[in-house]
């Protein structure tokens, strides 16, 4: 698999295992990882993760864990047994929770990358203020990323808009996983802090997460290939 392709994560935001596995079959060889999120995991559970892995594909288990450290530690242990390659926790769960997740992952035989979700890309600056956070989105993301790094997370999930600040501050000390990606000319939908694949990679994304622009394309494999071309063009 080309290194450009390995950086494309397709979000399987689909209602059931049948549609998800159909999409995995269509996209096999066209994407680096498949992201299983809350809708699909809640409906289909671990067996779907196993079925994707049985096809030789890598899985990003996007459960956005947020609970007391002991509970998160247990959930990470279970996710490690499933063979997830990446796993998310919410940075706002705090240092002890992130550290418990990172430690548990490190102790497992094949550790997934523990990624801390900073601010959801669907949140605008007004939304963040409405939550009582008196910071700009960039400052809030930076604060959460700092907590994540100090607590042992391997990377962060953030929007492309905050990426330059994060790269400048943390360099290669974190992996940067960037959703809210919209190829030029596609619909924004509910995302507000978006970027094209090209701009996200240029700004220093290690991985980009793309859902609807691939899932809803007439030809999902061709849509994925076009994104991979954009990634390649940035080196």
How many other CB atoms sit within 10 Å of the CB of residue 67? 15
User: Which ranges of 108-156 does DSSP label H, i.e. alpha helix?
Assistant: 125-130, 137-150
- Residue 114 structure tokens: 């523990």
Instruction: Confirm if 78 and 104 have CB atoms less than 8 A apart.
Output: no
Looking up tokens 């809350």 gives: 38
Tell me how far, at minimum, the Cβ of 157 lies from ligand C5P, in Å.
5
Contact footprint for ligand C5P (CB under 6 A) = 11, 13, 37, 117, 120-121, 157, 179-181, 189, 191, 209-213
Instruction: Confirm if 213 and 180 have CB atoms less than 8 A apart.
Output: no
Catalytic residue among 35, 64, 169, 175: 64
- 22 catalytic? Reply is no
Residue of closest CB approach to ligand C5P? 211
User: In sequence order, what are the residues at sequence separation of 6 or more whose Cβ sits closer than 8 angstroms to the Cβ of residue 72?
Assistant: 65, 66, 89, 93, 97, 100, 101
- Write out the catalytic residue numbers: 64
């Amino acid at each position: 698999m080309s290194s450009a392709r390995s950086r494309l994560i397709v979000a399987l935001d689909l209602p059931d295992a049948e549609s998800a596995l159909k999409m995995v079959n269509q996209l096999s060889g066209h994407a680096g990882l498949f992201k299983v999120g809350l809708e699909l995991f809640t409906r289909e559970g671990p067996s779907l993760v196993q079925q994707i892995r049985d096809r030789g594909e890598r899985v990003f288990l996007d459960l956005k864990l947020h609970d007391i450290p002991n509970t998160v530690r247990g959930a990470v242990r279970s996710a490690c047994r499933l063979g997830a390659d990446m796993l998310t926790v919410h940075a706002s769960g705090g240092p002890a929770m992130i550290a418990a997740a990172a430690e548990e992952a490190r102790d497992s035989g094949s550790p997934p990358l523990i990624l801390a979700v900073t601010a959801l890309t669907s949140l605008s600056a007004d939304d963040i203020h409405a939550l009582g956070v008196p910071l700009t989105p960039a400052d809030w993301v930076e604060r959460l990323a700092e907590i994540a790094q100090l607590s042992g997370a391997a990377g962060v999930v953030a929007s492309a808009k905050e990426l330059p600040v994060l790269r400048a501050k943390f360099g290669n000390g974190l992996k940067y996983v960037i959703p809210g990606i919209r190829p030029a000319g596609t619909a924004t939908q509910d995302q507000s802090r978006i970027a094209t694949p090209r701009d996200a990679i240029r700004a220093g994304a290690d991985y980009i997460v793309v859902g609807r622009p691939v899932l809803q394309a007439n030809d999902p494999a061709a849509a994925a290939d076009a994104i991979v071309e954009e990634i390649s063009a940035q080196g």
